[in-house]
Structure 1
């Protein structure tokens, strides 16, 4: 009789083969001998923690002393700031208001400029001038700014060495004021005259121009640098500064007639 397999029918495996398969599928039990990597890590951490605790217990007194000292310093600073520094800053700023008014009037006045600059420097109407503020409120922001204002007053009254001395002591935090102060030192040296002073003035103008990329200060001091370069017969340098104004700051006041200046030195 003919034999055939029904669809999906599988012949049963021999018993021996079935047993072998069952043996292979049995899970392998892991053994632990107490030396696994994880256990070693935790043991190390425990040991480290114990040493830290021992060190803290041993140096507890020193730790408390250091913490107490830090607290005293912080609290002391806050007290000094509230009781001494902040009131001194406010007092200096209030005191300087009148001197600033004199300076503003002097810079815009058509007559009696020198007397107004003198009042700004030395005071009037019972108020301190910039020089006294520098002396009485040394270390304050107002005293620092007073150096800049005093330098400006000296520059406008022809006392160029005194102007440089005050401007050197000014610590500018704003790029605009920094450029202005450096440029003012350039003005003072140029006014002193002589090639050595012109060279120094030129250096300050270039430095002032490159404090930051500013559409007002940069072209102003580049132009001054070009003018002094011409006076020193450095036409190539003058052309470089004029060209930089034309290329980058043509919309500035200095850039309006810059082509004429370029033509003059080419």
Structure 2
């Protein structure tokens, strides 16, 4: 004959378990099954506490090691936060003079520095990971584009990112300009499209769409160009670009044989 396993639901177990009176007087004794039996049985709770103390005593070195790792991680993160803040402050100071040269169109000094002050190239590399270094990438990308160094411009602008929707859209458009200068019309059109749809608005999106359409025509993607022109006419009918879009759309349709 097989033996019935001894569980809390067996008759023997039920007989040995203490009959605790439920807090609800309407609940039958037999039906009562406390959710937290340790709280109802002081002896069981005492045994569990002893077992926990024994576990801590046996694994003291391991637990202390884990605690040390947590403390070091927190301290390291806080230290990195302070260091990064100080680096950004230094980077902003270095960036100030470089941007002054950039605004004065002294691009060589803006990029390379003047012997005493760092240029955009070094600010971007030495303060990488800070807001100053990130912003230096944008200025350096524009400067490189003005100097016809399109590949360098792409590298800098791809390393730039901004939470400001308009500035980020502008960066996408500049990437489109650099690719178009390198005869990469499809890539240029894709970046113009990203610029137009990045927080789309009536002030800048029509212009980006017009540039996208032009780039798609250069790439002989006339259907894509027509789509961009149609978006201007549909979503931004009152924009100044709508007149050009209507004219250029007819040209694209003729080239597409429509």
TM range (shorter): 0.7 to 0.9
Q: Do 2:210 and 2:245's aligned partners in 1 also have CA atoms closer than 8 Å?
A: no
Matched, 1:261 2:248: yes
Show the counterpart of 1:205.
192
Q: Do 1:210 and 1:218's aligned partners in 2 also have CA atoms closer than 8 Å?
A: yes
* Offset of residue 104 of structure 1: 2.2
State how far apart, in whole Å, the 2-side matches of 1:222 and 1:141 are: 30
* Offset of residue 173 of structure 1: 3.4
Q: Structure 2 vs 1, CA of residues 79 and 42 (structure 1 numbering), >3 Å: closer, same or farther?
A: closer
State how far apart, in whole Å, the 2-side matches of 1:172 and 1:226 are: 25
Question: SS in structure 2 opposite 1:59?
Answer: helix
State how far apart, in whole Å, the 1-side matches of 2:149 and 2:27 are: 94
Superposition TM-score, scaled by structure 1 size:
0.71
State how far apart, in whole Å, the 2-side matches of 1:208 and 1:214 are: 10
1:187 maps to which of 173, 177, 188: 177
Show the counterpart of 1:3.
none
Structure 1 or 2, whichever has the larger Rg, is: 1
Q: Structure 2 vs 1, CA of residues 43 and 247 (structure 1 numbering), >3 Å: closer, same or farther?
A: same
Unaligned runs of 5+ in 2: 1-24, 254-258
Show the counterpart of 2:20.
none
* Offset of residue 68 of structure 1: 4.5
Aligned length: 223
Superposition TM-score, scaled by structure 2 size:
0.73
Q: Do 1:180 and 1:217's aligned partners in 2 also have CA atoms closer than 8 Å?
A: no
Comparing 205-214 with 55-64, which one deviates more in the overlay? 55-64
* Offset of residue 93 of structure 1: 0.5
State how far apart, in whole Å, the 2-side matches of 1:158 and 1:201 are: 16
What CA RMSD, in Å, does the superposition of the two structures yield over aligned residues?
2.9
Q: Do 1:151 and 1:167's aligned partners in 2 also have CA atoms closer than 8 Å?
A: yes
Q: Structure 2 vs 1, CA of residues 50 and 261 (structure 1 numbering), >3 Å: closer, same or farther?
A: farther
Q: Structure 2 vs 1, CA of residues 219 and 53 (structure 1 numbering), >3 Å: closer, same or farther?
A: farther
* Offset of residue 103 of structure 1: 1.8
Show the counterpart of 2:109.
119
Unaligned runs of 5+ in 1: 1-28, 107-115
Q: Structure 2 vs 1, CA of residues 42 and 164 (structure 1 numbering), >3 Å: closer, same or farther?
A: closer
State how far apart, in whole Å, the 1-side matches of 2:157 and 2:66 are: 43
Q: Structure 2 vs 1, CA of residues 188 and 53 (structure 1 numbering), >3 Å: closer, same or farther?
A: same
Q: Do 2:145 and 2:153's aligned partners in 1 also have CA atoms closer than 8 Å?
A: yes
Matched, 1:59 2:56: yes
Q: Structure 2 vs 1, CA of residues 52 and 80 (structure 1 numbering), >3 Å: closer, same or farther?
A: farther
Where does 1:11-26 land on structure 2 (aligned, <5 Å)? none
Where does 1:1-266 land on structure 2 (aligned, <5 Å)? 35-38=30-33, 40-43=34-37, 46=40, 53-54=49-50, 56-57=52-53, 58-59=55-56, 61=60, 62-63=62-63, 65-82=65-82, 84-106=83-105, 116-124=106-114, 126-193=116-183, 197-255=184-242, 257-266=244-253
* Offset of residue 177 of structure 1: 2.7
State how far apart, in whole Å, the 1-side matches of 2:169 and 2:49 are: 57
